[in-house]
Structures are given as structure tokens and as C-alpha cells.
Amino acid sequence: MKDSYTHVVLGLGGLGSAACYWLSRRAGTDVLGIEQFELGHGRGESQDHSRIIRKTYHTVPYVRFAEQAYEAWGTVEEDSGEQLVLKTGELNFWPPKTTLDEAAYNESMAACGVPYDILDAAELRRRFPQFRFDGDIHAVYQPDGGLVGAIKANEAHRRLALRNGATLLDNMPVKQIRPVNGGYEISAGGRIFSAEKIVVAGGPWTNRLLAHFGLELPLKVTHEQVTYVDSPHLQEFSPDRFPVWIWMIHDNYYGFPVYGAAGVKIAKDRFSPTDTDSRGFDPDAGNERDVLRFLEDHIPRAAGPVLYTKTCLLTHTPDADFVLDRIPGHPNCVCAVGATHAFKFASVIGRTLSELLIDGQTPADISAFRFDRAALSLPGVWNLPES
């Protein structure tokens, strides 16, 4: 195995695996990916059966980037021969007390020509009888929304990268990154590799990697969980009958049809602060009770015993926007931070990182994701509730 590469990707979760794939399409054997744990481990952010993909976003650049996300997944599907995106339709429920700006979502979609329907309570009941809401509720339905098969997609990115000649190493924690002769020396798992260009895709461990560049981002890491429920009426929640859905408030509930496991998947943001060393893996019983109560109240035929609950970490930026940029002072190094909602964009983020490193520029509008933006350099104004 060689020890010198043009491109070295640090971290092989959702974003790093995608970066390896897109780099390998153009740089083949000149790509090395390094992961600290086994490939496909569940300690980070990206390993579950499904993640929501949607075009419903609150700004035009996000809606455009989401459209590019579908296109990038299409390329991976073509290349792998596997279906990775499943369009189930997406229902966003807008409760009267929300602090989110519904008009911003609808206007951004309209500006990009993304179709959507506003459903009042009567229409909701007619089209989606699985849901039960009293009183003053309406929802926005967007037919392109759905899910990405996350575990499958991560495997596809890595498998295709290997097929293109990339080298992927697991159980190799990166311990040191040193600038040497215009490039970098990376120590990992007792070996030393040299790199001309680096992708930092460390998820919740990002700041440990950035410390080698003398940098730190104002990131917070929280503990989250998703629950699979053993519904007695599973067939009513199949992807062709039941859409992905989001309750549009800040610490929201969201859910999925049956996919990957024999249960209906539901989650409520936990936002429970933790760190990568002290985090536990036990589910929070209160959060489980909340999601079961939500099902009983609002999706009653999905309610049932818990099949299992899976915990994971989540990385936040103060403004909930990604970091997707060159690392200041290191024009040949780039960094991506998912900021709680990046899985749907994993492939297009990988493509964008590859363009920044190989072409020196990208056609994607990533101006909101700059490393040096005010929200990351001023004392943090956090969207995250204190707890």
C-alpha cells in the first residue's frame, strides 16, 4: 500500500464517504480515506436506515442545493445500480404556535418552481387518514420529499470509491496532521501518510481534527435518538401509503414510513448536550414516552410497543447552517460540518468538496456555509435551547 496520496479524507461517515466517492471518480487511486472506527460504525451521525430528504427549505440557496442533492444521488444510483432515494412525499405540519417562518419556506420553494400543496384539516384527513389532529392545523405537502437509505448510501459511496481505486482504511484514528513541504503529514494507526490535499469530515469530532490546523469552530454536540415502533398495522405505513412527515416547531417530532426495519420510525429532537468521550448509548426513557404519546394522540394506528431505540450524536453550528469551505490559511484543505441536517446533501457535499479540491471552485452556492462567517466568529448566538 502506498503512503503518499493527493487527496486524503479524514472521517468516513456520511460526508467523508461521499467525498471519497466523488474524488475517486476523477482522482482514482490518488484518494485515501481514513476512519477511526470500523466502516459503518454507529457512534457518529450517519448510520441509520433512513434520513429525510426534502426540498422544503427556508431559503432559495438551500432549495437549489436540495435540488442538486437529488441530482447527485441520481448519479450514485446510476453508478451503483441501487435505489437510494425513495420518494414518499413529505408532509410538513404547521401548528399555530410555531416560531418557524412558514412563508419563508413556501416562498423559497415557489421561487425555485418547486410544487407544493397546502392542505387544510379536511383535506389532510381525506388524503392521509393515518393522521389525527384536532382543531386549527394545516400542512404543506411536497411530492418529491422522501427518504435516503442512509446505511445503503454510505456503503454505496464507499464501495464505488474502492471500485474507482481509492484506498479506505478503518480503525485508524488520526492523531497528528503536520504541514510539511507545502503538503501534509498525517499520523494514523501507527502509520504516516503524506497528502497534498485534505478533507476534514469528522462530524462530532471535527474540532479535534481542526486543532491540528490551530482552529476551533463553535460547535455543540447533542445526544439524539430515533425509535422504531412495532405497529400492529404496518401495511398502512408502507412507503407507498405513508409519507415522511415533520411537525414544524423548533424541537420537533418527525417520522418515516416502514423502511429498513419492521417498524414505524419516529423521533423527537432531544438536544441533550454531550461529548464524544462521555456520551452513553442508552436511550432516554422520557423521549421514548414522548414519541409513543405523540403516536397515540396523532397517528394512533401506528402506536405499539417499542421495537428498538437507536441513539446517535448530532453536531450543531450556532446558526444551523453547514460549514462547507476551505480551511482558513490552508487553501488545499476543506472542511464539511453537517449542522444537524446534512444527510440528504451528503452526496452533493462530497461532490462540492471534490470540486473545491480538484477545480479550485464549485458551481454550487456555498456562500452561506463559509468558515469565516459572523455566526462562527462572533460570540455564539445559538439556535439551540439551553438545557
Ligand X SMILES: Cc1cc2nc3c(=O)[nH]c(=O)nc-3n(C[C@H](O)[C@H](O)[C@H](O)COP(=O)(O)OP(=O)(O)OC[C@H]3O[C@@H](n4cnc5c(N)ncnc54)[C@H](O)[C@@H]3O)c2cc1C
Count the residues of the shown chain that bind ligand X, applying the rule CB under 6 A.
36
**Is residue 263 close enough to count as binding ligand X by CB under 6 A?**
no
* Beta partners for residue 316, in sequence order: 220
| CA contacts within 13 A on the Cβ side of 287 | 24
SS3 call for 291:
helix
Residue 333, H or E segment: strand 330-337
* Out of 314, 323, 333, 356, the residue judged to bind ligand X by CB under 6 A: 314
Query: Which is closer to ligand X, CB of 204 or CB of 283?
Result: 204
* C-alpha grid cell, residue 169: 482504511
* Out of 20, 32, 52, 333, the residue judged to bind ligand X by CB under 6 A: 52
Q: What is the smallest separation between the CB atom of 125 and ligand X, expressed in angstroms?
A: 26
Counting Cβ atoms within 10 Å, is residue 361 exposed (0-12), middle (13-18) or buried (19+)?
Answer: exposed
Query: Which is closer to ligand X, CB of 11 or CB of 239?
Result: 11
**Is residue 264 close enough to count as binding ligand X by CB under 6 A?**
no
Q: What is the smallest separation between the CB atom of 189 and ligand X, expressed in angstroms?
A: 9
Q: Pick from 25, 325, 12, 27: which is nearest to 195 by CA?
A: 27
**Is residue 205 close enough to count as binding ligand X by CB under 6 A?**
yes
* Out of 23, 195, 226, 334, the residue judged to bind ligand X by CB under 6 A: 226
Stretch 81-110 residues interacting with ligand X (CB under 6 A)? none
Angstrom CA distances, 323 to 141, 185, 203, 313, stand at: 29, 24, 11, 17
Residue type at position 106: N
User: Where do we find the cell 426540498?
Assistant: 55
Residue type at position 34: I
Query: Which is closer to ligand X, CB of 127 or CB of 208?
Result: 208
Cα(313)–Cα(273) distance, rounded to whole angstroms?
A: 9
* Out of 9, 23, 33, 46, the residue judged to bind ligand X by CB under 6 A: 46
Cα(204)–Cα(315) distance, rounded to whole angstroms?
A: 5
* Out of 9, 12, 195, 264, the residue judged to bind ligand X by CB under 6 A: 12
**Is residue 145 close enough to count as binding ligand X by CB under 6 A?**
no
Query: Which is closer to ligand X, CB of 320 or CB of 378?
Result: 320
Query: Which is closer to ligand X, CB of 183 or CB of 350?
Result: 350
Query: Which is closer to ligand X, CB of 314 or CB of 366?
Result: 314
Residue nearest to ligand X (CB): 13
Cα(228)–Cα(237) distance, rounded to whole angstroms?
A: 12
One symbol per residue from 146 to 185: x for binding ligand X (CB under 6 A), - otherwise; what is it?
---------------------------xx-----------
**Is residue 201 close enough to count as binding ligand X by CB under 6 A?**
yes
Cα(369)–Cα(363) distance, rounded to whole angstroms?
A: 14
Query: Which is closer to ligand X, CB of 205 or CB of 259?
Result: 205
Stretch 338-377 residues interacting with ligand X (CB under 6 A)? 338, 340-344
**Is residue 33 close enough to count as binding ligand X by CB under 6 A?**
no
Sign of CA dihedral 30, 31, 34, 39: negative
Q: What is the smallest separation between the CB atom of 118 and ligand X, expressed in angstroms?
A: 22
Query: Which is closer to ligand X, CB of 47 or CB of 132?
Result: 47
Strand ranges in the chain using DSSP code E only, listed in sequence order: 4-10, 31-34, 50-53, 85-87, 90-94, 117-119, 138-142, 146-149, 167-169, 174-180, 183-188, 191-200, 220-229, 244-247, 253-256, 264-268, 272-273, 306-316, 323-327, 330-337
* C-alpha grid cell, residue 53: 430528504
Query: Which is closer to ligand X, CB of 128 or CB of 193?
Result: 193
Q: Which stretch binds ligand X (CB under 6 A): 35-43, 90-98, 159-167, 324-332?
A: 35-43
Q: How many CB atoms lie within 10 A of CB 122?
A: 8
Query: Which is closer to ligand X, CB of 52 or CB of 295?
Result: 52
Q: DSSP letters of 13-32?
A: SHHHHHHHHHHHHHHGGGEE
Q: What is the smallest separation between the CB atom of 108 and ligand X, expressed in angstroms?
A: 17
Angstrom CA distances, 114 to 33, 60, 103, 107, 144, stand at: 36, 11, 14, 10, 9
**Is residue 189 close enough to count as binding ligand X by CB under 6 A?**
no
Q: Which stretch binds ligand X (CB under 6 A): 43-51, 72-80, 110-118, 290-298?
A: 43-51
Which residues in this chain contact ligand X in the complex, by CB under 6 A? 10-16, 34-37, 44-46, 51-52, 173-174, 201-205, 208-209, 224, 226, 267, 312, 314, 338, 340-344
